[in-house]
Chains A and B, each alone.
Chain A
Amino acid sequence: GESVGLHLPTLSVQEGDNSIINCAYSNSASDYFIWYKQESGKGPQFIIDIRSNMDKRQGQRVTVLLNKTVKHLSLQIAATQPGDSAVYFCAEIFSGSARQLTFGSGTQLTVLP
């Protein structure tokens, strides 16, 4: 399953399928990007990050892709599990600021049994 982030804030996938969550970031000068997972009633939890001099980074079951040309970030989750159900946020950091995180609006991922 695939989301278009701002246009499709919810994404439902079958357990075991791959998920793709998209994010359009705002500042072309941002140099660091992070994906967070937020479960209901909890704080954001770090998943994976990527610097602007990279276009791909892999973690355990997750891959982040960065396309600076179109200011687009995506999070790929392999073999999605019920525990992956949560809201996923991308965040960017611009080195010219005090380096606070600027968050996107989030995508709700629901994993169907």
Chain B
Amino acid sequence: NAGVMQNPRHLVRRRGQEARLRCSPMKGHSHVYWYRQLPEEGLKFMVYLQKENIIDESGMPKERFSAEFPKEGPSILRIQQVVRGDSAAYFCASSPRGGGTEAFFGQGTRLTVV
């Protein structure tokens, strides 16, 4: 059973471009969480999704950021018109049930905006 798969592992974007980060949860997991980590800081919650639904997006900036988890395919975190401050590691976690427990993390996508 493969773990949580995130791709790409590293992503470089110029200011103003779009970044798309993908997360494939573990088999049988229908709950996905996205977190952002700045260097030498803890992870900060962004958004919680269940299949085809956004459950909680209270941690996500109102502008430029969006997330989806379609019925088929991976969850996508999309950042439009990236700025230097978006440079960070973005982690996805999946769990079989809601509740945040039993959450397994992917290896993350490291976004660098130049």
Residues of chain A whose beta carbon lies under 8 Å from any beta carbon of chain B: 32, 34, 36, 41-46, 49, 89, 93, 97-106
Cross-chain contact of B45 among A32, A102, A106 (Cβ < 8 A): A102
User: A45: which B residues are within 8 A, CB to CB?
Assistant: 105
Q: Are A98 and B55 in contact (CB under 8 A)?
A: yes
Q: How many interface contacts (CB-CB < 8 Å) are there between A and B?
A: 60
Give Cα distance in the complex from A100 to B4, angstroms: 17
Q: Which 6 A-B pairs have the closest CB atoms?
A: A98-B56, A103-B42, A43-B105, A99-B100, A100-B45, A93-B100
Q: Looking at chain A's contact residues, is the secondary structure mostly helix, strand, loop, or mixed?
A: loop
Q: Are B100 and A46 in contact (CB under 8 A)?
A: no
Q: Are B44 and A44 in contact (CB under 8 A)?
A: no
Would you call B59 an interface residue if the criterion is a C-beta within 8 Å of the partner chain's C-beta atoms?
Answer: yes
Q: Are A103 and B55 in contact (CB under 8 A)?
A: no
**Interface residue range, chain B:** 20 to 34
Residues of chain B whose beta carbon lies under 8 Å from any beta carbon of chain A: 4, 33, 35, 40-45, 48, 55-56, 58-59, 91, 93, 98-101, 103-108
Cross-chain contact of B33 among A32, A36, A46, A101 (Cβ < 8 A): A101
Q: Are A32 and B101 in contact (CB under 8 A)?
A: yes
Q: Are A46 and B104 in contact (CB under 8 A)?
A: yes
Can you list 22 residue pairs at the A/B interface with Cβ under 8 Å?
A: A32-B101, A34-B101, A36-B105, A42-B108, A43-B91, A43-B106, A43-B107, A44-B91, A45-B105, A49-B101, A98-B48, A98-B56, A98-B98, A99-B48, A99-B98, A99-B100, A100-B45, A100-B100, A101-B45, A101-B100, A103-B35, A104-B42
Q: Are A103 and B56 in contact (CB under 8 A)?
A: no
User: B59: which A residues are within 8 A, CB to CB?
Assistant: 100
Give Cα distance in the complex from A4 to B89, angstroms: 26
